[in-house]
Amino acid sequence: MKIHSLHVYILDLPTIRPHHLSMHTIVTQTIVMACVKSTDGLEGWGEVATIGGVSYGEESPESIKLTAEKYITPLILGKDPTNFDALSHYISTNVKGNYFAKALVESSVVDLVAKSKNIPAYELFGGKCHDSLSVAWTLASGDTGKDIEEAQNCLQLKKHNIFKLKIGKGDPKENVAHVTKIKAAVGDQASVRVDVNQAWDEATSLYCIEALEAGGVDLIEQPLAAWNNEGMTRLVSRFKVPVMADESLGTVQDAYQIAKHRAADVFALKPAKAGGLTATKKIAAIAEASGIPLYGGTMIESTLGTAICAQLYSTIPEMSFGTELFGPLLFKDNVTLNDLDYEKFQLKIPEGPGFGLEVDKEKLKHYAREFVGSTI
């Protein structure tokens, strides 16, 4: 079996409500999907997602597509996809940076290989350690009463018992008060966490984290700018509440530096930022060797991208802080024929060949910005 072709599609999926971050508000989420075909006609599908074009990271959906099609495709045509780890290394030696594009291609190749062997993709990464993973839900109405009502409803229906609030936008003191009221309302029934998305300086962080810690909040995500590892180290040493690295943690090298300088208590894993699934497993190994617990992050992918992350996270023995794989629940529609199973506060790991999902090509045509029907 050899790789015959690769095609990339940019899709825009509407969300059920606005999703607020410090740098962008999502009302339509852009995902990038890739289809790799083998010489015997088998297809593998991959996905990555971006947030707000280039407001979150340096790669845009358009640049991901261009890099994958123009620069990575020539490197993989005619190659044996079963050697996907060696293939990813070969790509990295010839393409600098562009981690989202690399992750997109690698995931599609992994899906292809697993399908060719008629096994779930997680078996290519050592097999699963978990049948399901806990999933956090983001409370984002901005109204304290509505957020409390939503949280209590999620608890009653056994949908989520981990709640995250994006508090990087607006007045920090008001945001802290908003969060602590929610925590007081749900009490010990749920874990309440916050994500600052790099919006605070160190002085603001000192005041706000102290108040959040006193209010019972369980996790503080990326309070400082991604470059400020020294500041993160000072916050980690000062507070008992764990401080998590997200935007500052991308590559394997980032993971080593953060672990070495204790610039975080927790690592947020994200395959797209790491450059793929194989790189993410290496980051998890660095965390394990350093005694740093893990959290399964999201770039708010659709069902396919969420399944990709879930299958990989299922192979990591310790996922102490759960995951944030709620992406499909935020979309009005999805682009797979089968759906993911959320119940009893958990996401079940999808089974079946590859990542366990079949792409709905009619939905792909509907949501894609540009579609060439002859390629699939």
Domain co-membership, 142 together with 267: yes
Domain co-membership, 10 together with 129: no
Task: Give 146's Cβ-side CA count (13 Å radius).
Answer: 6
Domain co-membership, 89 together with 219: no
* 374 pLDDT tier (thresholds 50, 70, 90): very low
Q: Write down the pTM of the prediction.
A: 0.95
- What's the pLDDT at 372? 59
Average pLDDT over residues 64-75: 98
Domain co-membership, 92 together with 132: no
Domain co-membership, 54 together with 89: yes
Domain co-membership, 23 together with 71: yes
**Does residue 21 register a pLDDT over 80?**
no
**Does residue 187 register a pLDDT over 90?**
yes
166 among known catalytic residues: yes
- d(CA 311, CA 299) in angstroms, rounded, equals 15
User: CATH no. for residue 287?
Assistant: 3.20.20.120
For 94-104, how does the pLDDT look when each residue is reduced to its tens digit (9 = 90+)?
Answer: 999 999 999 99
Of 65, 102, 115, 166, which one is the catalytic site residue? 166
Domain co-membership, 180 together with 309: yes
The DSSP string of 243-293 is EEESTT--SHHHHHHHHHHT--SEEEE-HHHHTSHHHHHHHHHHHHHHT--
Domain co-membership, 66 together with 157: no
